[in-house]
Structures are given as C-alpha cells and as structure tokens.
C-alpha cells in the first residue's frame, strides 16, 4: 500500500507521521520544537517542518500529505509573499478590546444583539483568539502593516502553501514564488476565523460554506485581500513540490485540504455524532461532533466545522496542561510527585479551590482575569491540598464546557480523554469525579497528525474513486474509567468562579 504523511504544526512543535494508507500503521515519525511566545515568525514553522520531516526519514516516498494546525493565528502576507509581521497566535490576547468593539458594532451598540449576530453569522461570539479580532487590532495599532496586507492565511494554510513550493519572492525554498491565489484551506479552519460561515451555500451551490467579506471589511476596513480557497473534505489542494515530498512517487504527492487542530484530532480519533473529546493540552478543549453547528449567543460554545462535513462544537479554555506545569513549579516536584500529592488529599481539598485563570481566560471570556485561590486555612495550607486544588480547578473549567454543550442539546454518548495531561495518574483519577461520567482514554498518540494522515489517505483514495470514504483506521482505548461523581468539587468551584 502507498504511504501518506500527516503534519501537526501546533503551538509548541511540529510533528510528522508517515503511515500506511490502507491500515493506518505507523511507519516512522519525527518532531521539532517551535519557539515560545504568542507571536512567532512563521519561518520557524517552515524550519521545524523540514527538521521534523528529515527526522521522519524524509517524505520522498509519500503519495499524499495533509497538515493539521493551530487555529486562528493571523498570517498576513504582502504582495511579494513576505510575512508582514510576526504571526499573532490564538493565545495572544491583545485584541480583546477589538473583539468587544466588533461585537458592539455588529449589534448597533448593543452587546447582546451583536453577540447573537456574530453567533448567527459565523457560529462564534468573538473573543481575542479569533483571527478577525487580530485584523481589527492590526488596523488600529499598526496601520502601516495593515496597508501592506495582500492575503490573510492561517498557520496550516501557510504551511500547506509552502509545501506546494510557494513562498516569498527570492526564497530558494519557494521555487514557485509568491502566487497568493494558490493558498487553500478547509472548512474547519476557515470556520474559526470569524469571517466564514460554514453553513452557507458556497459559490458552487454545494453548501460548502462562504466567506463573509462584509465582516472582514468591518474588521480590516477593506476586503480586497486574497483569502484561501476552501476545499471539500477529500479535495486536493495541489501537489507537493518534489523538493519537499513525493519525488519518488509517480505523479507526485497530493496535498490534502488540511484542518484545524481540533478537527484534525477528531478525524484521527474517528469521532462521530454523540462523541465528546476532552483534550488537555496547551489549551483545554471540550469538542463534540454533530450534524449542524450551534449559534450560541452566550459565547460558551463555538460552532465550527469538522473535517468530514459535520459540525464541531467547541468549548475552549486557555488554561489546561500549563496549570499542572504551574503546580509543579510552585511545589517543586515532577508529574509523578504532583499526582501522589494530589491523590493524598480528599475530593474537594477540604474547601481549597483554585480558579485557574492563570493566563486570562477564553471560556468564560475573561482575557484580563488572574487566578484566585479560595479557602486558604491552616488545615489546607499543605502541599497535598494545593496539588489537589490545581488539578480540580483545571478539570472544573473543562466540566463547565461540557455543561455548555448539554445546554445546547448536544448529544453526549461517549467521552474521550486525550492530550498530554490525560496520561496523568491524578487527572485520570479526578476526571471521573469532576465530570461524573464514564471516560475512555485512548492510547497516547499524535491525534492531530494522525487525523491529517487519515485525511491524506482519503484524498488519495478519492483521486481514483470520488465516492471513497475516509479510511476506517482504528483507535485503541487503553483505559476505561468508571464514573465516580463527587458533587462537592463542582459545587465549591461554582461558588467562587465568578469572584474575579
């Protein structure tokens, strides 16, 4: 069987997996770090991709490749294909006021009307994470840079474009030059921009979605910029340049449309309507697949698209695995010791509660909030109680996201716990107590990269059979956790979470 490659260009690193297109069996893999920060020169992503591909043994023998990536990041290009300024990432909150301004402008001064208007138009109430707010910030804070913008892309769009051989004029690694009209994306990532309606009929009448250039103009002050073509789930965006991938394959390597990271992980897990994934990575994400998106004017749920033609509803927190990192720093311990300490304290930590808004927060929308610790007494001033409070606080934020999905009548049949922190012994013990549901923990994996590889296999199959479905790769559940509800944890958290 042919080989396919999946790429995850995430906040922290680039991962590349090479898999058998038929079975999904892993053949080889590689990774490379990205720099820290909330604004990054995209050239670092290109360098990391090439390093990860080299570590994976090269991509000359792959017949298709697709890229999953961090959502919302603003990659602004000028007419020569140069990056106008460092990309503003999803976790950069400087555009929080821009989000508020845009909400009120759409609502003719009413925040409530504006919030519902944005939810109806795009599935999401604006927060600082979304790309459109960063465009407004750019217009107001850096007008000279805003005037140079000729195209707007997302991180995965930009990397796919570079894989195809395009890029800045004069760059030897971009032999096809700055052809901005060759940019492409998919519905899942486009639906997180704030200027795309995934539910709308596209220009071809297929219901593929449509850009809302009127909203783009509201943010940037003009709409004469190139936006990536939006492809269907198994539609190729072109061919990889042979210097990057596919040089040993007849006809070269097809490039899939790619996906936003959450949609990529959903595809990698084989999620279907009724499945809920709770992902604990750099951000915390509670996601659900459903036939159509919501239009939640409260802003608790973002109604995006997935990578298969369904909708993907998300509740996203900025504070997830880094809360555990902060706990390790405060307590001076490693992850194993953190788990031992946390599980030595009782559920509810005898009233010690952490509201973990350590980097502001996205859901609820509190970009300027700080973390707060409640219930400090002599009896709770122990390392064990503090460790427990950090773990419980992080999980309570995710449980609120699960409640928000319930409030939108999203079906919940199965809960999957994924992400790096999902392997923590403390998280696996406390999650069933906080969420109050049975939980499946799949084998650890690079689910975004795996989803991208599965999409690449789908694109390859569709090239010879337009009716081909996504390959039925299997996901192994390593652990099943029984529900163990401890209401005191959520009750204590609910009593103090708004005291910020």
Catalytic residues, which ones? 261
CB 39 within 8 A of CB 88: yes
Residues contacting 427, CB < 8 A, separation 6+:
280, 324, 391, 395, 417, 421
CB 229 within 8 A of CB 183: yes
Q: Which helix (H) or strand (E) holds 15?
A: strand 13-20
Cα-flanking dihedrals φ and ψ of residue 400, to 5°? -60, -35
CA-to-CA distance for 231 and 229, rounded, in angstroms?
Answer: 6
Q: Which of 287, 229, 282, 238 is nearest to 451 (CA)?
A: 287
Pairing of strands 275-280, 414-418: parallel
Alpha helices in 56-154 (DSSP H): 96-106, 111-122, 131-141, 143-148
Residues contacting 155, CB < 8 A, separation 6+:
9, 42, 45, 69, 70, 73, 75, 87
Q: What is the 8-class DSSP label of residue 437?
A: S
Q: Which of 158, 131, 168 is nearest to 255 (CA)?
A: 158
Q: Which of 391, 306, 314 is nearest to 347 (CA)?
A: 391
CA-to-CA distance for 110 and 101, rounded, in angstroms?
Answer: 10
Q: Counting Cβ atoms within 10 Å, is residue 409 exposed (0-12), middle (13-18) or buried (19+)?
A: exposed
Residue 411: count other Cβ atoms within 10 Å of its Cβ: 14
CB 296 within 8 A of CB 351: no
CA-to-CA distance for 411 and 406, rounded, in angstroms?
Answer: 7
Alpha helices in 373-478 (DSSP H): 383-407, 425-435, 447-462
CB 220 within 8 A of CB 136: yes
């Amino acid at each position: 069987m042919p080989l396919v490659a999946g790429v995850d260009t995430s906040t922290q690193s680039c991962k590349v997996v090479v898999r058998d297109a038929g079975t999904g069996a892993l053949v080889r893999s590689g990774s490379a770090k990205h720099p820290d920060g909330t604004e990054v020169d995209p050239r670092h992503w290109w360098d990391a991709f090439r390093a990860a591909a080299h570590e994976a043994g090269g991509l000359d023998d792959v017949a298709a490749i697709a890229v999953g990536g961090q959502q919302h990041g603003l990659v602004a290009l000028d007419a020569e294909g140069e990056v106008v300024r460092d990309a503003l990432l999803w976790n950069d909150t400087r555009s929080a006021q821009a989000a508020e301004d845009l909400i009120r402008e759409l609502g003719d001064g009413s925040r409530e009307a504006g919030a519902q208007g944005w939810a109806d138009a795009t599935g999401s109430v604006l927060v600082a994470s979304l790309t459109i707010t960063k465009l407004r910030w750019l217009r107001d804070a850096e007008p000279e840079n805003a005037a140079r913008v000729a195209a707007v892309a997302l991180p995965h769009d930009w990397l796919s474009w570079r894989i195809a051989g395009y890029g800045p004029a004069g760059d030897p690694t971009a032999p096809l030059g700055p052809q901005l009209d060759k940019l492409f994306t998919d519905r899942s990532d486009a639906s997180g921009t704030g200027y795309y309606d995934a539910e709308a009929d596209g220009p071809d009448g297929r219901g593929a979605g449509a850009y809302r250039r009127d909203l783009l103009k509201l943010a940037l002050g003009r709409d004469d910029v190139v936006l990536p073509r939006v492809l269907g789930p198994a539609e190729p965006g072109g061919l990889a340049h042979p210097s990057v991938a596919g040089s040993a394959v007849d006809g070269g390597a097809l490039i899939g449309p790619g996906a936003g990271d959450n949609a990529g992980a959903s595809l990698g897990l084989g999620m279907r309507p009724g499945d809920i994934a709770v992902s604990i990575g750099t951000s915390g994400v509670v996601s659900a697949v459903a036939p159509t998106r919501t239009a939640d004017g409260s802003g608790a749920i973002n109604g995006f698209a997935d990578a298969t033609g369904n909708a993907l509803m998300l509740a996203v927190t900025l504070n997830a695995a880094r809360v555990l990192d902060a706990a390790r720093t405060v307590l001076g311990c490693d992850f194993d010791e953190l788990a031992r300490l946390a599980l030595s304290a009782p559920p509810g930590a005898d009233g010690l509660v952490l509201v973990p808004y350590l980097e502001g927060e996205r859901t609820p929308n509190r970009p300027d909030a700080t973390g707060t610790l409640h219930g400090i007494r002599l009896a709770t001033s122990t390392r064990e109680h503090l460790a427990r409070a950090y773990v419980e606080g992080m999980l309570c934020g995710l449980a609120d996201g699960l409640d928000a999905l319930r409030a939108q009548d999203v079906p919940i049949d199965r809960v999957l716990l994924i992400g790096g922190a999902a392997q923590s012994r403390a998280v696996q013990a406390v999650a069933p107590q906080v969420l109050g549901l049975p939980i499946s923990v799949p084998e650890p994996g690079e689910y975004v990269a795996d989803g991208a590889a599965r999409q690449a296999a789908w694109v390859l199959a569709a090239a010879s059979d337009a009716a081909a479905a996504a390959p039925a790769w299997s996901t192994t559940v390593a652990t099943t956790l029984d529900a163990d509800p401890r209401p005191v944890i959520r009750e204590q958290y609910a009593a103090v979470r708004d005291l910020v």
